[in-house]
Chains A and B, each alone.
Chain A
Amino acid sequence: MISLTRILVYLVLIGISFYTASYGIWTWNMKNRLGAAMVFLVALAVLILPLFAFYVRR
C-alpha cells in the first residue's frame, strides 16, 4: 500500500520531471539537440531513480 506521503513525493517528482522536459523542448527549439537530449535524460532520471530506490530499499 503506497502511503499518502509517497504519493505526494511522486507528484512533486513528476512535476519536476515535467518542468525539466519542457526545458528540454525549449532547448531543442533553440537548435541545441545534444543539450536537449541530455536534459531529457535528466528528466527521465528524476522519474526512474525514485522507483529504483524504492524497490532497492524495500
Chain B
Amino acid sequence: MSGFFDTLKGWLLFTEPAPREQFILRENENEGDGSLKNSQEGAPKNKRRRRQKGNGNDAGTAQPIGRRLADNLNAVKIRFNVPTNSDVMIREFDIVVGKKAIAAFMIYYDGMVDRKVVNDDILLPLMLLSNLDVKSDEARVPVYIRSHLLTHNQIKEASELDQVVGEINFGGVGIFVDGMDSAFTADVKGFEHRSVERPNTEMVIRGPQEGFTETIRVNTSLIRKRLKDEDLIVEDVLVGLRSKTPCAMLYIRDIVNDSLVAEVRRRLKSIQADYIHDSGEIEQYIEDSTFLASPHMVATERPDRVAAMLTEGRVAVIVHGSPFALVMPTTAFELVQSPEDHYVRVPSANLLRAVRLLAMTVALLLPGLYIAITNFHQGMLPTGLLLSIEAAREKVPFPSIVEILIMEISFELIREAGIRIPGTIGPTLGIIGALILGQAAVAASIVSPILIIVVAATGIGSFAIPSFAYAYSFRILRFGYIILGALAGFLGISLGLFLHGLTLVTSKSFGVPFMAPFAPRTAGGLGDVVFKEPIWKQERRPDYLNPKDEVRQPKISRGWIGRQNGGEDQNGG
C-alpha cells in the first residue's frame, strides 16, 4: 500500500530530477585529457558486505603467496573446496635442481586443461628434464625454473593467490614450488568447444562463412586474421564478480575516438553483477535506454562484420561464452544493413536494400494500414478490390481489429513454438501450423482470406530484417500501430509514426544520435546509409563517430584508372 502511495506521490508532486550525466562523443578526445566529461577511473569499489571477491580488475583480497609449500597447499585446498570440489586436481612432485630436490605441486581443473600439454610441457620438464646437466650461472631457483625448465610458451609469475586462482578458473594450471614466494601459471586451456562454423543468424550467399564460437581467444583470433594491424588493440576486461567472465574490448587505436573507448571501458568495469552468461546480458547492462524498442548496438556472429565496423572507428566487445559480439555505437540505418551488401555489386546491393526497406515498412505498418483503410478510408481502394474484401469479410462475425489480433497473436505463438521444437520437426510444424490454422480459420469464417495474406506478408517482412533484435522491436510496435489504426485510421498511424520517429531521433547510442547522419545532418558520410555508393567512392569514415583519422581512402582509390602502369608506383594516387 505504501508503495502505491509512493507512486502516486511521485506522479502528483514535483521533485527536481536527479542530474544525469549524459555521455557525449566529442571530437578527437585523447585518453587522460582532463576535459573528458566522464571519469577515467576503473570500477567503483565493491560495497557488498559479504566476502569480497576480486574480479581481476581491482585489488581484491590480496593474499600473498608464502614460501612454505605446506601453507600454500592448505590455502589452495580451502580456496578450491578440496576434496568437495571433485574436479580439482592437485599433483605433488619434486623438482631436482642441481643436487637438491625441491618439493612442488600443481593444481588445475580436470576437463579444463589440455592433458598432453600439461604432461609434456609442465610435468615432463620439471620432473625429468630438471636432472639434465643444464649449464647455468643462475643461482635463484625461480629464475632457473622459468628460464631453463618450463618449456611452455605462456608462463606468468604471480605473487598473489587471487591471480593464480583466476588463471586456474579459466583453464590454466598453477605451479607452486617450495621456498618461492610466487607461483607460476601457464595457459593450458583444453576445454571442449565448438569449432568455427557458419553463422546461424546472418547467413549470406556471397561472403565469408565463418562465425564466432563461444571461446574468446578463437573469436579474437578470427578478427586478428582479418585485421593484420598492430594497432588493433584487444583489451581484456573481467566482468561479473563471481563468474569473472573474460571479455575483450577491441578497437583500432589510431582510428577510434578515445573518449568512446573510455566510455565503453567505464561501463563494462562498472557492472556490479554476480554472473554474466552472455553478451546479451552485457548489452542490457551497458545500453543507454532500457525501454527503447530498438537495440543500441549491433550484435553479430560474423567476424567480417566486426572487422569492417572496427575499421570505421567503432568498438567491439567479445564475451567468453557467447558467439555474439557487440559493436557500438550504432545508428538505426546500420541495423538494417546486411554484411552481404558490401560483398555484392552496387546495383545488387541497392536492390537488396530497397527490398529490405519495403520489408520493414510492411512488417511495421501493413496490419495497421489494413485496419485503417478498411475501417476509415475505404475510398482509397479501387472499387473492385473493395467489393472483393467486403465479400470476403461478409461472413466473419468479428470486427477487423479482433480478426487481425487473433491472427497476429496466433502467428506469434507459432513462431515461438517453432523455435523450441527439436530439429527436423520445427520447420515442419511452422508450415503445418500456418497452413492448418490459416486454412481452418478461413473455412470456419473466423477470419477473412485477405487477412491471412496480410499477416503472412507481415511475418515475411519481419524475417527480412537482418538484425533479429531490430526485428523484435518491429514485432512489438506493430501491435501499437494496429490499435492506433483501429482507433483513428490514418490519424492514428500518423500519431504512431510521429511518436516512433521522435523516440528514435532523441535516442543515443554511446553518445551518437540514433538517426545520424540524417538527424542531425553531418558532413558527408551519406554514401552507405540508406543506399550504397560504389565502394571506391566511400572515402571518409562516418563523421558522427568523430574518428581520429577521417579519411579511409584517397579520392582516387583505384590506381589503375587513367594510368598505363596500373598505378603501382603510388598507393592508389
Residues of chain A having any CB pair with chain B under 8 Å: 15, 18-20, 22-23, 25-26
> In the assembled complex, how far is the CB of residue B556 from the closest CB belonging to chain A, in whole angstroms?
61
Instruction: Check B11 for interface membership: any CB of A closer than 8 A.
Output: yes
**In the complex, which residues of chain B have a beta carbon less than 8 angstroms from the beta carbon of A20?**
14
- Give the distance to chain A from B460, nearest Cβ to Cβ, in Å: 41
- B16–A18 CB distance below 8 A: no
CA distance A15 to B15 in the complex (A): 15
Please list 17 pairs of residues, one from A and one from B, whose beta carbons are closer than 8 Å in the complex, sorted by A's number. A15-B11, A15-B12, A18-B12, A18-B13, A19-B11, A19-B12, A19-B13, A19-B14, A20-B14, A22-B12, A22-B13, A22-B14, A23-B14, A25-B14, A26-B14, A26-B15, A26-B16
- Report chain A residues within 8 Å CB of B15: 26
A15 to B12, CA, bound (A): 6
| Interface residues as binary, B1-17 with A (CB distance below 8 Å gives 1, 0 otherwise) | 00000000001111110
Interchain CA distance A13-B16 in the complex, whole Å: 21
CB A17 to nearest CB in B, in angstroms, measures 10
Smallest CB separation, B554 vs chain A (Å): 57
Residue of B nearest to A16 (CB): B12
- Minimum distance in angstroms from B195 CB to a CB of chain A: 60
Chain A: minimal CB distance from B403 (Å)? 28
B11, B13, B15 — which one has the most chain A CB atoms within 10 A of its CB? Answer: B13
Contacts of A26 in B (CB 8 A): 14-16
User: Interface residues of B, CB < 8 Å — how many?
Assistant: 6
> Which B positions have Cβ atoms within 8 angstroms of A?
11-16
Chain A residues whose CB sits within 8 angstroms of the CB of B13 once the complex forms: 18-19, 22
Q: How far is the CA of A2 from the CA of B16 in the complex (A)?
A: 36
Q: Count of A-B contacts with CB under 8 A?
A: 17
Minimum CB–CB distance from B8 to chain A (whole Å) comes to 9
List the A side residues contacting B14 at CB < 8 Å.
Answer: 19-20, 22-23, 25-26
A35 to B14, CA, bound (A): 15
For the complex of A and B, the 8 pairs showing the least CB-CB separation, nearest first, are A23-B14, A22-B14, A22-B13, A18-B12, A26-B14, A19-B12, A15-B12, A19-B14
Chain A residue nearest to B16 (CB atoms) is A26
Hey, which chain B residues are within 8 Å of A23, CB to CB? 14
**How far is the CB of A47 from the nearest CB of chain B, in Å?**
14
- Determine the chain A residues whose CB is within 8 A of the CB of B16 once the complex forms: 26
Q: A18-B13, A26-B15 are in contact. List 13 more A-B contacts (CB 8 A).
A: A15-B11, A15-B12, A18-B12, A19-B11, A19-B12, A19-B13, A19-B14, A22-B12, A22-B13, A22-B14, A23-B14, A25-B14, A26-B14
Shortest Cβ distance from B14 into chain A, in angstroms? 4
Cα A18 to Cα B12 with chains together (Å): 6
Query: In the complex, which residue of chain B has the Cβ closest to the Cβ of A20?
Result: B14
Shortest B5–chain A CB gap in Å is 14
Complexed CA–CA distance, A19 and B8 (Å): 11
Q: Interface centre among B11, B12, B16, by most A CB within 10 Å?
A: B12
The CA-CA distance from A36 to B530 in the complex, in Å, is: 49
CA gap between A25 and B369 in the complex, in Å: 47
Q: Within the complex, what minimum Cβ distance (angstroms) separates A28 from chain B?
A: 12
Residues on the B chain within 8 Å of A19, using CB? 11-14
Q: How far is the CB of A30 from chain B (nearest CB, A)?
A: 9
Nearest A-chain residue to B12, judged by Cβ = A18
Residues of B within 8 A of A22 (CB): 12-14
Q: Which chain A residues border B12 with CB–CB below 8 Å? A: 15, 18-19, 22
Within 8 Å CB of B11, what residues of A?
Answer: 15, 19
Bound Cα distance A15, B11 (Å): 8
Q: How far is the CA of A26 from the CA of B12 in the complex (A)?
A: 13
